[in-house]
């Protein structure tokens, strides 16, 4: 995986972030979701490098080989605001103060927080198979609660850790053929680590508490994403089934939104890498320059 990429463990203060990076050109950061690691991008990142980008793939705080602070009752150490700060620190460490951003699933929540908290750092942002957390929570139905029950199970104290770590292979059910064997091996090692499992649960606990409060404050203050925004969703997942057109929801949060569905299940970077890389490459391509001066 990731031929030609470098790897580094970056100290960002109260966390240590494992990051892969490679390529040459305008930088783009790829943020994975639950319960994956940065290795989930192994079929997409090389395609973006070939398209002329520097590609940066970190493990989110607490996931994979990244490590976060001690766990606290308010879950703030694993909030999307804290994780977004990690990404900004890693990019500055690598020499970049402005970059494009792609977030899938939980990484999408981090991408939204980063774009709202640090708007001058993000040139454009893509959200994959996700909505703002508060949009999910404001639309809770029996269907949502049935299909997304894990959000509320993960928020319970202690019990999820005991259940998951008793048999992580049965809980997560990864497929080495579908994921790619090296990606699967890295993911399996991470999900068998009790500290990683606890950190991933803290991500969800923060989502229902401190992250929700941050998004509610954004809405009350009228803050919106102002850079070009792409929303992509998996046609063989349930986002459209639950909410209808995801673009109509994202337009409540961003001023310049485009997007479409991709024929894939939820883990689009593994299941439809060609279609995803093509959509991202098109979105990340600089707008054509309009010549100045008067016509002859």
Query: Per the structure block, which two tokens stand in for 12?
Result: 């960002």
Q: Is residue 295 part of a domain?
A: no
Place of tokens 């919106």: 224
pLDDT at position 123? 98
Q: Is residue 296 part of a domain?
A: no
What digits encode the pLDDT tens for the residues 203-243? 999 999 999 999 999 999 999 999 999 999 999 999 999 99
Helix (H, G, I), strand (E, B) or coil at 158: coil
What is the total count of domains within the chain?
A: 1
pLDDT at position 2? 96
Query: Is the predicted pLDDT of residue 296 greater than 50, yes or no?
Result: no
Q: Is residue 186 part of a domain?
A: yes
pLDDT at position 295? 43
Q: Is residue 124 part of a domain?
A: yes
Q: Could you list the residue range(s) of the whole structural domain that residue 50 is in?
A: 6-284
Tell me the percentage of the chain whose pLDDT exceeds 70.
Answer: 97
Query: Is the predicted pLDDT of residue 275 greater than 80, yes or no?
Result: yes
Query: Is the predicted pLDDT of residue 288 greater than 80, yes or no?
Result: no
What digits encode the pLDDT tens for the residues 132-153? 999 999 998 898 889 899 999 9
Q: Which of 59, 86, 105, 203 is catalytic?
A: 105
Q: Is 34 considered catalytic here? A: no
Candidates 278, 286, 282, 263; CA nearest to 47 is 278
Q: Is residue 290 part of a domain?
A: no
Q: Is 59 considered catalytic here? A: no
pLDDT at position 154? 97
CATH number, domain containing residue 279: 3.40.50.1820
Q: Which helix (H) or strand (E) holds 206?
A: helix 194-207
Q: Is residue 294 very low, low, confident or very high in pLDDT (cuts 50, 70, 90)?
A: very low
Mean pLDDT on 54-81: 97
Q: Is residue 251 part of a domain?
A: yes
pLDDT at position 286? 75
What digits encode the pLDDT tens for the residues 4-49? 999 999 999 999 999 999 999 999 999 999 999 999 999 999 999 9
Query: Is the predicted pLDDT of residue 291 greater than 90, yes or no?
Result: no
Q: Is residue 294 part of a domain?
A: no
Alpha carbon of residue 289 to chain centroid: 31
DSSP conformation letters of 20-45? EEEESSSEEEEE--TT--GGGGTTTH
What digits encode the pLDDT tens for the residues 248-261? 999 999 999 999 99
Q: Are 102 and 111 in contact (CB under 8 A)?
A: yes
User: φ and ψ at 13, to 5 degrees?
Assistant: 110, -100
Query: Is the predicted pLDDT of residue 278 greater than 80, yes or no?
Result: yes
Q: Is residue 1 part of a domain?
A: no
């Amino acid at each position: 995986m990731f031929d030609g990429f470098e790897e580094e463990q970056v100290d960002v203060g109260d966390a240590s972030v494992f990051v892969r990076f490679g390529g040459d050109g305008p930088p783009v950061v790829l943020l994975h979701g639950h319960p994956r690691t940065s290795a989930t991008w192994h079929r997409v990142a090389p395609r973006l490098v070939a398209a002329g980008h520097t590609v940066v793939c970190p493990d989110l705080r607490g996931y994979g080989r990244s490590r976060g602070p001690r766990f606290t009752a308010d879950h703030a150490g694993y909030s999307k605001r804290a994780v977004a700060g990690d990404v900004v620190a890693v990019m500055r460490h690598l020499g970049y103060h402005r970059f494009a951003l792609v977030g899938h699933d939980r990484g999408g929540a981090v991408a939204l927080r980063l774009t709202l908290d640090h708007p001058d750092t993000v040139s454009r942002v893509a959200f994959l198979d996700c909505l703002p957390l508060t949009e999910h929570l404001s639309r809770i139905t029996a269907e949502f609660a049935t299909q997304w029950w894990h959000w509320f199970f993960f928020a319970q104290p202690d019990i999820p850790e005991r259940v998951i770590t008793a048999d992580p292979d049965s809980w997560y059910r990864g497929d080495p053929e579908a994921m790619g064997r090296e990606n699967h091996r890295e993911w399996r090692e991470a999900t068998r680590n009790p500290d990683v499992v606890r950190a991933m649960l803290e991500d969800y606990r923060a989502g229902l508490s401190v992250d929700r409060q941050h998004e509610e404050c954004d809405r009350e203050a009228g803050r919106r994403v102002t850079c070009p925004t792409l929303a992509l969703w998996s046609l063989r997942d349930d986002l459209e089934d639950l909410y209808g057109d995801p673009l109509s929801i994202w337009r409540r949060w961003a001023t310049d939104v485009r997007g479409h569905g991709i024929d894939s299940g939820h883990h689009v970077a593994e299941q439809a890498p060609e279609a995803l890389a093509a959509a991202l490459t098109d979105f990340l391509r600089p707008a054509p320059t309009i010549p100045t001066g008067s016509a002859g």
